[in-house]
């Protein structure tokens, strides 16, 4: 049931060494296509990092941060292609977040581990250039994917009353 997939997905910070196959990645990106998006702009962009891109990103990150980029065998840069219209851009960032979540849920449903990370290097010009991100794209994160190594405990969740209210 979808409820179980939503509740049981966890952020994993350690992974087995086996990369996610091209076929499974394609299944996950196919799920992303179904994210809601206003005016059907399909704003999400996913770039699967190959070894050379990873090396370039590690160089841009520097020696202190680079080892953290090696935690997962498969890394996918997720970004939103923006139009320059402020309202549309805000909606496209939201739609891209939905698409990323679809990927995370799809990965979990397939028994994979995932981690949505926003490393500092992706906010730098060097980091963007390392991955060839053009102007006009907003980077939303580096999606880590791989096999599960452990089962992280669920972090505490805020009670429903703290974020839901009834309007008159
Ligand atoms: C937009 C976004 C960015 C995130 N960036 C990071 C990050 O840079 N580092 C990190 O440790 N976790 C990051 N996370 C993961 C959250 O910390 C994690 O979802 C939260 O602790 C709840 O854990 P859970 O995913 O297992 O439910 C990010 C999550 C989102 C949605």
Whether the CB of 141 sits within 6 Å of ligand 1: yes
> Which amino acid residue places its CA nearest to atom 30 of ligand 1?
116
Domain boundaries, the chain: 16-150
Instruction: Match 């028994």 to its residue by tokens.
Output: 111
Fold of 16-150: NADH Oxidase (3.40.109)
Whether the CB of 117 sits within 6 Å of ligand 1: yes
- Burial per residue of 118-139, b for 16 or more beta-carbon CB atoms within 10 angstroms, e otherwise: ebebbeeeebbebbebeeebeb
- Burial per residue of 12-40, b for 16 or more beta-carbon CB atoms within 10 angstroms, e otherwise: beebeeebbeeebbebbbebbeebebeee
Mean predicted confidence (pLDDT) in 123-152: 97
Residue-wise pLDDT for 41-92, tens only, equals 999 999 999 999 999 999 999 999 999 999 999 999 999 999 999 999 999 9
Whether the CB of 106 sits within 6 Å of ligand 1: no
pLDDT value of residue 28: 99
Residue-wise pLDDT for 102-123, tens only, equals 999 999 999 999 999 999 999 9
Whether the CB of 155 sits within 6 Å of ligand 1: yes
> Which amino acid residue places its CA nearest to atom 13 of ligand 1?
117
pLDDT value of residue 18: 98
Cα–Cα distance between 40 and 77 in angstroms, integer? 21
> Which amino acid residue places its CA nearest to atom 5 of ligand 1?
117
Using CA atoms, how far residue 110 sits from 18, 91, 137, 147, 158, in Å, is: 14, 29, 29, 10, 27
Residues whose CB is less than 8 angstroms from the CB of residue 138 and which lie 6 or more positions away in sequence, other chains included = 79, 80, 82, 89, 93, 96
Whether the CB of 101 sits within 6 Å of ligand 1: no
pLDDT value of residue 11: 98
pLDDT value of residue 83: 97
Q: Ligand 1: which atom is nearest the Cα of residue 13?
A: 11
- Report the predicted TM-score, pTM, of the whole model to 2 decimal places: 0.97
With the most atoms of ligand 1 within 8 angstroms of its CB, the residue from 117, 119, 138 to mutate is 117
Q: In which band, very low, low, confident or very high, does the pLDDT at 128 lie, cut at 50, 70 and 90?
A: very high
- Please say whether the dihedral angle defined by the alpha carbons of residues 30, 52, 128 and 67, taken in this order, is positive or negative: positive
Cα–Cα distance between 58 and 51 in angstroms, integer? 10
């Amino acid at each position: 049931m979808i409820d179980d997939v939503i509740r049981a997905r966890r952020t994993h910070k350690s992974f087995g060494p086996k990369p996610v196959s091209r076929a499974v990645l394609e299944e996950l990106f196919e799920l992303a296509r179904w994210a809601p998006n206003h005016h059907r702009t399909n704003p999400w962009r996913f770039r699967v990092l190959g070894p050379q891109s990873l090396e370039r990103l590690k160089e841009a990150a520097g020696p202190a941060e680079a080892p953290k980029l090696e935690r997962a065998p498969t890394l996918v840069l997720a970004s939103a292609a923006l139009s320059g219209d402020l309202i549309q851009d805000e909606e496209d960032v939201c739609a891209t977040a939905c698409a990323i979540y679809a990927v995370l849920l799809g990965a979990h449903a397939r028994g994979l581990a995932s981690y949505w990370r926003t490393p500092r290097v992706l906010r730098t010009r060097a980091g963007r250039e390392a991955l060839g991100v053009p102007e006009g794209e907003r980077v939303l994160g580096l999606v880590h994917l791989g096999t599960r190594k452990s089962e992280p405990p669920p972090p505490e969740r805020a009670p429903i009353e703290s974020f839901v209210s009834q309007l008159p």
